[in-house]
Amino acid sequence: MRTAVTFVIAGLLAGWAAGLQAGVTNAVAREQAGVTNAVARESVITASRIEFDNKEGLILFDENVLVDDAQFVMRSDRLLVFTEGTNDVQQIMAVGRVSITNENRTAVCDKAVYTKKDGQIVMIGNARLLQRGKDAAEVNGDKITIWLDDERMLVEPGTFVLPPGMMNKGDHKLLP
């Protein structure tokens, strides 16, 4: 069960990171990130103000940030994209009232950072991952670190909430 929940939650955030990279660079980034099940369409990022600093390798989306991607919708107060060279995204940081949703999953936190080099996403401050539907589950913590390549997750300190009956397997309880 732990592996399935971790995979589902990591999948949501992997899609977020890969989709943002695609929106900032181009559709080729989506293929390089291994996202093959997404509908082929543009990712659109809107904000009240957008600043480009090519010298520093920074794109700043400020106030009322909305990322509309085929895989998810993300909202935050601020989004910073750190690049190397022309369009090689190295890190993406969403700050302030971060929410990422798709059909049946939601992630919320105060700050989320995707680092390409480490293949990880770190959610900080009131971090919550929620899976709705048949395989419903919820993970809460002050800090949630997800390693995308390893399908691992660390929650510090954390709470894992399962719906009623999830600890039963048929007529046999998994735990006393």
Q: Walk me through the domains of the chain, giving residue ranges and CATH numbers.
A: 2-173 (2.60.450.10)
In the numeric block, the tokens 């971060």 are attached to 98
Q: Which helix (H) or strand (E) holds 168?
A: strand 168-169
The residue among 159, 92, 90, 169 whose CA lies nearest residue 130 is 159
List 95's β-bridge partners, or say none. Answer: 78, 111
Structure-block tokens of residue 45? 């990022």
Q: What is the CA radius of gyration of the chain?
A: 17
What does the pLDDT read at residue 173? 52
Task: Pull the structure tokens for residue 23.
Answer: 């929106």
Q: Residue 105: in which H helix or E strand, if any?
A: strand 105-115
User: Which residue is associated with the tokens 């798709």?
Assistant: 102
Query: In whole angstroms, what is the distance from residue 140 CA to residue 135 CA?
Result: 17
CB 38 within 8 A of CB 30: yes
**53 with 87: CB under 8 angstroms?**
no
pLDDT at site 11:
44
Positions in the chain short of pLDDT 70? 1-39, 166-176
What is the pTM assigned to this prediction? Answer: 0.71
Dihedral sign for Cα 60, 65, 69, 73, please: positive
Q: How far apart (Å, rounded) are the C-alpha atoms in residues 98 and 27? A: 24
67: which strand partners? 45, 74
